[in-house]
Amino acid sequence: MRLAETIARIATLDKAVQAEAQKRLDSLTKPPGSLGRLEEMARRVAAIQGVVPPRLGPKRIFVFAADHGVTAERVSAYPQAVTAQMTYNFLSGGAAINALARALGVELEIIDAGVAHDFPPELKLRALKIRRGTDNFTRGPAMTRAEAEACIEAGIRRVEEAAAKEQPFLLGVGEMGIGNTTSAAAILCALTGAAPREAAGSGAGIDAEGWARKVAAIEKGLAINRPDAKDALDVLTKVGGLEIGAMAGAMLGAAALRIPLVVDGFIAGSAGLIARALCPGVMDFLFAAHVSAERGHRAMLHELGVVPLLDLGMRLGEGTGACLAMGVIEAAVKLMREMATFESAGVAGKIA
């Protein structure tokens, strides 16, 4: 019910606000269009918020962690236990995303969406565990349809709670889950018809034999489960991940509340595919942070019809690309808010 209600609240952007934002940008002390894509970012944020210039405020990234049963097929260079170990690392502030968040003033929230581990209750960990990891999708569905819907709705709820508390300026999503590039590639294949050999990359650094196992696992999972490309929930159920569903939910929740959301890399992009399949209008509210070095991400971005803000050769996940992109988007908005106009600065405009 929450999913359907959330989708029903996602509205199109107001063209009048977009026009007003463009007029504001053109009045600033610079040649028209000279700030390139920064102007596009500021204009989109204004249109999403419905106000010119856009307001600033807190920036928050949700890092969703969950385990994947497909790791039993030896598709990852790291053991499944690393999901829980890295979650502890996030909580203690020692991961790359922690360093970047501190540098850019971004609040981090670590969320257990389905780690196969019991964390002590005293930790500063948001517990939204749907189940202890997915099943091995080479032997049947990764989860039940009810669980797929539950993880999407968990993401929606978390956005609603954050919005009620702090009126965020920007939200972002990242993830942690050993084996999740395999699920992300399988989602890409299921929804777009891409070949597993083209969608599957090296993930966290598997060798050639590991890559071959990964491709074989995706091929087998698709053949056994036959996910329905016209039913995003079926795709998530058959070959997805709990953290992927939660990220898709966060995207839908942010769109319903008119909050810009920054999508990290390949795995977060697969959540974007799920969210778009559920509600195409969600794309108006999403920013693609960067193009990952992971094989298949460029094709994924092309399918989503988005141009990433950054291209730094990154493939870490965790929300690291989203964090960096948030800084760029915030800078774009500050330009619209803080630059003088030709009139206020007493600067002559362009000769007619």
Structure-token match 């989203």, residue found: 322
Distances in whole angstroms, Cα of residue 269 to Cα of each of 180, 304, 322: 12, 9, 11
Burial (Cβ within 10 Å: 0-12, 13-18, ≥19) of residue 143:
buried
CB 73 within 8 A of CB 178: no
CB 72 within 8 A of CB 178: no
Strands (E), the chain: 59-66, 107-114, 126-127, 170-176, 261-263, 286-288
The torsion angles phi and psi of 27, rounded to 5 degrees, stand at -85, -10
CB 173 within 8 A of CB 250: yes
Burial (Cβ within 10 Å: 0-12, 13-18, ≥19) of residue 299:
middle
Please state, as a whole number, how many other Cβ atoms lie within 10 Å of the Cβ of residue 121: 7
Q: Catalytic annotation on 5?
A: no
CB 138 within 8 A of CB 183: no
SS3 state of residue 235: helix
Between CA 219 and CA 222 the distance in angstroms is 5
CB 204 within 8 A of CB 77: yes
- Active site residue: 73, 153, 318, 330, which one? 318
Between CA 338 and CA 49 the distance in angstroms is 18
Catalytic residue list? 318
